[in-house]
Structure 1
């Protein structure tokens, strides 16, 4: 997915629920921080954008978005990309993530005012899941020097206590493959 495709999703999501603030939670949130030309291919491979809303306690907005522009919808057929409506509760994020949200200046997403996760918060959420595609995503960003391993460790330590034990072990196990802050795998 590229930024223009994401902007198309964001515009549509905003119009469906009549809410300008649209939160991108999944891997395509990285497009809020970097142009697709600067990212490794693994970072933009997904054709799905995980869309959430900060004021959606019952998931009704997320459900409307998914029903209208989700997978196998006419929107998906026409644009080649789609939205998955999710709840902010779905992601395992470090404390303070809301304070680090940012937007972009891309006018083509108007009237949406998209919100994106800070890249290290996004990576921690991916590492908490640690599915192969999530591991590949984070690995590619570390190797491209777009993520700092020490910052990832700090953010992982800031995951809520009730979600921390197993996930922290998995996250640190993955990060142990890299020299601290060097973004390169350890040889042994």
Structure 2
């Protein structure tokens, strides 16, 4: 299993160090490496997704997505944060490296994504030079690449 959205930072950064803008989402994006037809993702939506009994009871929910949902920098799979504890056994989870997560959020380019990325940068939880380096590995249009360079240049001053 892979946590692919903003809440993936919880695997690498203790929650008490995260600014409110980084933990504001009540949605956890969950993908599966072995789910070519998205059946497992659909099951997540049905069982613990938005408007489910789980959502009503706990106030947050999971959204099943595809691993290809996010545009990620080259080598992201090698940098996954592994969650393998007694409470997750026999399963294990994987979460995005915080820098890869920020890059994917900048690619998505929604206002909430920029707020998330800026908050992590402002609190020194991600390195702007690493973000800039990973942006350069993306397979995106030249216009998008320039937008990302401009954003990190303005917000991170790498």
> Which category describes the TM-score, using the shorter chain as reference length?
over 0.9
1: distance between equivalents of 2:85 and 2:152?
Answer: 33
Moved more, 171-180 or 54-63: 171-180
Alignment partner for residue 62 of structure 2, among 74, 79, 83?
A: 83
On the 8 A contact 1:23/1:54 being kept in 2, the answer is: yes
Matching residue of 1:123: 102
Structural RMSD (CA): 1.4
2: distance between equivalents of 1:147 and 1:75?
Answer: 32
* CA shift digits 1:128-179 (9 cap, x unpaired): 011100000000000000111111111011112xx24232122112112135
- Change in Cα spacing, 1:135 to 1:56, as seen in structure 2 (3 Å) is same
- Change in Cα spacing, 1:164 to 1:112, as seen in structure 2 (3 Å) is farther
Kindly report which structure 2 residues correspond to 1:132-147, keeping only aligned pairs within 5 A, or say none.
Answer: 132-147=111-126
Structure 2: tracts of 5 or more residues without a match = none
Matching residue of 1:157: 136
- Match of 2:74, SS state, is coil
Q: TM-score, length-normalised on structure 1?
A: 0.79
Alignment partner for residue 3 of structure 2, among 20, 24, 36?
A: 24
- Is 1:57 the counterpart of 2:61? The answer is no
Q: What displacement does 1:106 show?
A: 4.9
Matching residue of 2:48: 69
On the 8 A contact 2:8/2:95 being kept in 1, the answer is: yes
Q: What displacement does 1:68 show?
A: 1.1
2: distance between equivalents of 1:88 and 1:99?
Answer: 15
On the 8 A contact 2:84/2:93 being kept in 1, the answer is: no
* Corresponding residue pairs, total: 158
Structure 1: tracts of 5 or more residues without a match = 1-21, 182-188
